[in-house]
């Protein structure tokens, strides 16, 4: 779990104070990986504390993060600096947070990023790394994974060294998120809860976190009691608790199938989850019904027919990626999941989307 968390509106201003004691020496910079939507946004960028050789790298989150992208970032940082950095600070959504986690791991572990996709393959402690979400829902700020698309699969680097050493939860940073993005990413959290709470891996630890996040999601997306600031704060906490819920259990059908979409079509995680979940009534009847209510209430129109023109070969690739995520299916459907989830079944589901 993340050992240090600062929470509060405006707490981003404490960043300088948080980082100062962690500077190893003046040749070991802090590297800030920042979502490039903030390029030229002085409200945020001017408050990033830069000293000595510290550096901001702006990165587009238009595509899902890739293992090759991590390798390039790490190479650039090593070439650019005499010493290993004092810390890596990710500022952005799930993509930036996952990149920050992966870069901090790969700065101290040899070889290529793709070799670490899986469970507990990381040998050395990562560089000190800090996560600062600017959009809520993914749970990347609290998870022990960093989900990356590699040459052969979309899979996380799951390890004890992956979680952030420090997280700053400042809901003010989420104030300019576009509405569609807000909904899709918020639904990532909602879907975490539904998949965790309806999974066979559920335990009391995960259940209490999942219950709490689910009730916050309903309050935010179905009721009209909250002002904007309250809704932003509560969604930030929902993301946190939803993430905690799956740390000790697992996600399910929507995530397994959405990884297939991402791998083949590059569909972003949040919207991909929504496209898939919309067709999962038979697995999560109540969860999908509430999802549809939320979608309607916020006038969200999902893309349709995104798989309609795919060849059988392409569908097979998606199906392979989805089927490879064994723990997700086991959590969703139990040990005998293969009897329910056949290639034919997955194909028919994908073709509906």
| Residue 259: CB minimum distance to a copy of itself, A | 27
Contact 133, 236 (CB under 8 A): yes
Measured from the CB atom, the residue of 236 and 349 that comes closer to a copy of itself is: 236
Taking the C-alpha atoms of residue 189 and residue 192, their distance in angstroms, rounded to an integer, is 5
Decide: residue 203, CB within 10 A, 0-12 exposed, 13-18 middle, 19+ buried.
exposed
14 lines the binding site for a copy of itself (CB under 8 A): no
18 lines the binding site for a copy of itself (CB under 8 A): no
Q: Which of 61, 105, 148, 169 binds a copy of itself (CB under 8 A)?
A: 169
| Residue 73: CB minimum distance to a copy of itself, A | 26
CA nearest neighbour of 28 among 102, 80, 70? 80
Q: Which of 1, 308, 326, 351 binds a copy of itself (CB under 8 A)?
A: 1
Q: Which of 216, 217, 264, 328 binds a copy of itself (CB under 8 A)?
A: 216
122 lines the binding site for a copy of itself (CB under 8 A): no
| Residue 222: CB minimum distance to a copy of itself, A | 17
175 lines the binding site for a copy of itself (CB under 8 A): no
CA nearest neighbour of 31 among 102, 93, 121? 102
Q: Which of 75, 230, 282, 286 binds a copy of itself (CB under 8 A)?
A: 230
Collapse the DSSP code of 108 into the 3-class scheme (helix H, G, I; strand E, B; otherwise coil) and give the result.
Answer: coil
The residue behind tokens 């500077």 is 23
Residue 48 CB partners (closer than 8 Å, separation 6+): 15, 32, 34, 56, 91
In DSSP notation, 154-202 reads EEEEE-TT-S-SEEEE-GGGGTT--HHHHHHHHHHHHHHHHHHHTSTT-
208 lines the binding site for a copy of itself (CB under 8 A): yes
119 lines the binding site for a copy of itself (CB under 8 A): no
203 lines the binding site for a copy of itself (CB under 8 A): yes
327 lines the binding site for a copy of itself (CB under 8 A): no
Encode burial over 124-136: b for 16+ CB neighbours within 10 A, e otherwise. Answer: eebbbbbbbbbbb
Binding span for a copy of itself by CB under 8 A among 126-134, 146-154, 206-214, 324-332: 206-214
State the alpha helices, DSSP H only, in 266-311.
Answer: 269-277, 285-297
Taking the C-alpha atoms of residue 273 and residue 261, their distance in angstroms, rounded to an integer, is 9
Binding mask 245-284 for a copy of itself (x = CB under 8 A): ---x------------------------------------
Measured from the CB atom, the residue of 6 and 84 that comes closer to a copy of itself is: 6
Residues at the contact surface with a copy of itself, assessed by CB under 8 A: 1-5, 7-8, 160, 169, 171, 203-205, 208-209, 211-212, 216, 230, 233-234, 236-238, 241, 248
């Amino acid at each position: 779990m993340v050992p240090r968390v600062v929470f509060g509106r405006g707490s981003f201003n404490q960043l300088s104070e948080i980082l100062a004691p962690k500077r190893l020496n003046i040749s070991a910079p802090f590297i800030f990986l920042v979502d490039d939507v903030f390029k030229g946004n002085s409200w945020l960028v001017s408050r990033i504390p830069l000293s000595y050789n510290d550096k901001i790298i702006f990165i587009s989150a238009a595509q899902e993060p890739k293992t090759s992208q991590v390798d390039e970032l790490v190479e650039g940082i090593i070439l650019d600096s005499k010493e290993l950095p004092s810390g890596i600070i990710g500022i952005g959504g799930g993509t930036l947070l996952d990149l920050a986690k992966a870069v901090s791991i790969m700065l101290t572990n040899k070889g290529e990023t793709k070799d670490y996709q899986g469970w507990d393959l990381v040998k050395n402690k990562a560089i000190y790394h800090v996560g600062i979400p600017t959009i809520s829902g993914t749970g990347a700020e609290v998870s022990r994974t960093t989900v990356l698309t590699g040459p052969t699969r979309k899979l996380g680097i799951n390890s004890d060294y992956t979680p952030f050493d420090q997280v700053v939860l400042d809901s003010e940073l989420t104030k300019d998120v576009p509405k569609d993005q807000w909904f899709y990413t918020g639904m990532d959290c909602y879907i975490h809860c539904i998949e965790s709470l309806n999974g066979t891996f559920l335990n009391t630890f995960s259940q209490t976190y999942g219950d709490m996040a689910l009730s916050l999601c309903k309050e935010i997306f179905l009721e009209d009691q909250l002002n904007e600031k309250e809704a932003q704060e509560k969604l930030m906490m929902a993301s946190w608790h939803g993430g905690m819920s799956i740390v000790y259990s697992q996600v399910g059908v929507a995530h397994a199938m959405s990884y297939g979409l991402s791998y083949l079509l590059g569909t972003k995680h949040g919207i991909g989850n929504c496209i898939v979940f919309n067709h999962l009534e038979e697995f999560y009847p109540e969860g999908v019904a509430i999802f549809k209510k939320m979608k309607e209430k916020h006038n969200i129109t999902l893309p349709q027919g995104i798989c309609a023109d795919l060849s059988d070969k392409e569908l097979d690739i998606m199906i392979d990626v989805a089927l490879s995520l064994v723990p997700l299916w086991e959590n969703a459907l139990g040990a005998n999941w293969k009897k329910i989830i056949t290639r034919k079944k997955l194909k028919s589901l994908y073709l509906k989307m």
